């Protein structure tokens, strides 16, 4: 069995290594052993490996990146009656999916709907569930108003899901990207939504013109960095900045006075808190994700697939500007790991 791991935080290409071992983990009571076939490289996986500037290292012993992916149930622990060996499942949250095998609680192994490809299944949970969380936070912040919403890194995998949800729910969305070519791609993808490139000197003026007198009610931001102050400045009084990522590299400044005087709200959203929802709420979100993977698999776009052993080249690809979709790490199917999309 092959496992990608690191024992200290640092530049991913330097600290990650591939370890081969004969030992396979065994599932305990209520758990299943999954033979992993495909797992994504999410920006958050790399933050886990590299840490954030100014934050103390969080490390004790060897760790394996990855929180989601898909595979085939290899064996069942005691008391597992909902799954069977050979069944295709998507797993989340399952720390350590960048390995050929992972043990997960049976209730976190979600059956892959018939007809859904292995690649789509590997992307079925984290981003759609994040969309559910962002959408709920956004609805709460809009308080029934129909004012415009602004999102950063709109061409990201999550940004495109938000774009599709806005079309579906007739929400006025303004898309921000960092390049002119990215803005052109967004206009092609979602012609009804304005797309603005932050490399334009007057990008803030363009946002104001599109937002009109009502101003922007909600900003969905996954870039952070110095731009956060400008984004807060674009909010209407009483507006909300929802922070859910830090693609930028600098610190995120916010002036206290405008926050107070203009009654702005800043709140964070993280998939890490999804497990604190009730089992019924989580089941609803998972049903949404399963449905999305069947009905609109093109929204879970794959940028490229690499063998797990080629993780360094895959990480380099995952960081390439203008990448479209998510990079996957794969393990070849064997005779006993089924035929996929069944
Ligand atoms: N809070 C949560 O629970 C949660 C869950 C999932 C993801 N996220 C966050 O959501 C964000 C998007 O994730 P994803 O998987 O959708 O990413 P992705 O598909 O890899 O896309 C990221 C895109 O963002 C753009 N970008 C990168 N650095 C940027 C910068 N400094 N300024 C502006 N744009 C930049 C790039 O587009 P171009 O090169 O085309 O400009 C890049 O392709 C990440 O920050 C991730 O951590 C958060």
pLDDT tens-place string over residues 151-207: 999 999 999 999 999 999 999 999 999 999 999 999 999 999 999 999 999 999 999
- 127-272 fold: Rossmann fold (3.40.50)
CA of 4 to the centre of ligand 1 (A): 23
Does residue 289 surpass a pLDDT of 60?
A: yes
CA of 104 to the centre of ligand 1 (A): 27
Cβ(43) – ligand 1 distance below 6 Å: yes
Does residue 53 surpass a pLDDT of 80?
A: no
Does residue 342 surpass a pLDDT of 60?
A: no
CA of 44 to the centre of ligand 1 (A): 9
Phi/psi for 4 (5° steps) reads -90, 130
Confidence at 212, pLDDT banded by 50, 70, 90 = very high
Does residue 317 surpass a pLDDT of 70?
A: yes
The stretch 329-340 carries a mean pLDDT of: 78
Confidence at 270, pLDDT banded by 50, 70, 90 = very high
Q: State the span(s) of the chain assigned CATH 3.90.180.10.
A: 2-124+300-330
- 2-124+300-330 fold: Quinone Oxidoreductase; Chain A, domain 1 (3.90.180)
Cβ(244) – ligand 1 distance below 6 Å: yes
Mean pLDDT for all residues in the chain: 95
Ligand 1 atom closest to Cα of residue 179: 41
To test the pocket of ligand 1, the residue of 156, 176, 242, 248 to mutate (highest count of ligand atoms within 8 Å of its CB) is 156
CA distance 308 to 339: 19
Q: State the span(s) of the chain assigned CATH 3.40.50.720.
A: 127-272
Confidence at 60, pLDDT banded by 50, 70, 90 = confident
Question: From atom 44 of ligand 1, which residue's Cα is the shortest distance away?
Answer: 245
pLDDT of residue 214: 84
Does residue 209 surpass a pLDDT of 70?
A: yes
pLDDT of residue 340: 62
Helices (H), the chain: 12-15, 43-50, 118-122, 126-142, 157-168, 180-189, 203-211, 227-234, 256-261, 279-295, 311-318
The model's pTM: 0.96
> Residue 193 in 3-state DSSP?
coil
Angle ∠(302,304,305) on CA atoms, nearest 5: 105
- Supply the Cα-derived Rg of the chain in whole angstroms: 21
Question: What does the block give as tokens for 322?
Answer: 């203008």
Q: Which residue has the higher pLDDT, 186 or 339?
A: 186
């Amino acid at each position: 069995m092959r496992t990608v791991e690191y024992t200290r935080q640092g530049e991913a290409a330097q600290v990650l290594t591939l370890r081969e071992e004969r030992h396979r983990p065994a599932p305990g009571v209520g758990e299943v052993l999954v033979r992993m076939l495909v797992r994504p490289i999410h920006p958050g996986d790399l933050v886990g490996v590299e840490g954030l500037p100014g934050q103390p290292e969080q490390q004790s012993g060897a760790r394996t990146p990855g929180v989601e992916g898909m595979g085939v149930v290899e064996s069942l622990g005691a008391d597992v009656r909902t799954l069977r060996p050979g069944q295709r499942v998507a797993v989340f949250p399952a720390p350590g999916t960048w390995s050929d095998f992972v043990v997960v609680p049976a209730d976190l192994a979600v059956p892959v709907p018939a007809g859904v490809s292995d690649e789509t299944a590997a992307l079925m949970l984290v981003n759609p569930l994040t969309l559910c969380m962002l959408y709920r936070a956004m609805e709460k912040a809009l308080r029934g108003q129909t004012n415009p919403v602004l999102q950063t890194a709109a061409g990201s995998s999550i940004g495109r899901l938000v774009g599709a949800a806005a079309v579906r729910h007739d929400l006025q969305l303004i898309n921000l990207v960092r390049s002119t070519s990215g803005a052109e791609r967004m206009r092609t993808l979602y012609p009804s939504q304005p797309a603005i490139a932050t490399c334009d000197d007057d990008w803030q003026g363009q946002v104001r013109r599109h937002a009109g007198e009502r101003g922007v009610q909600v900003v969905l931001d996954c870039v952070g960095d110095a731009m956060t102050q400008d984004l807060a400045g674009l909010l209407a009084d009483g507006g909300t900045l929802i922070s859910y990522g830090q693609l930028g590299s600098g610190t995120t400044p916010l002036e206290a006075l405008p926050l107070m005087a203009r009654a702005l709200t800043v709140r964070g959203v993280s998939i890490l808190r999804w497990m604190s929802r009730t089992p019924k709420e989580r089941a609803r979100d998972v049903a949404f994700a399963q449905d999305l993977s069947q009905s609109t698999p093109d929204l879970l776009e794959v940028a490229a697939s690499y063998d797990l052993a080629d993780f360094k080249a895959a990480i380099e690809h995952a960081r390439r500007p203008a990448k479209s979709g998510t990079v996957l790490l794969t393990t070849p199917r064997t005779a006993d790991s089924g035929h996929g999309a069944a």
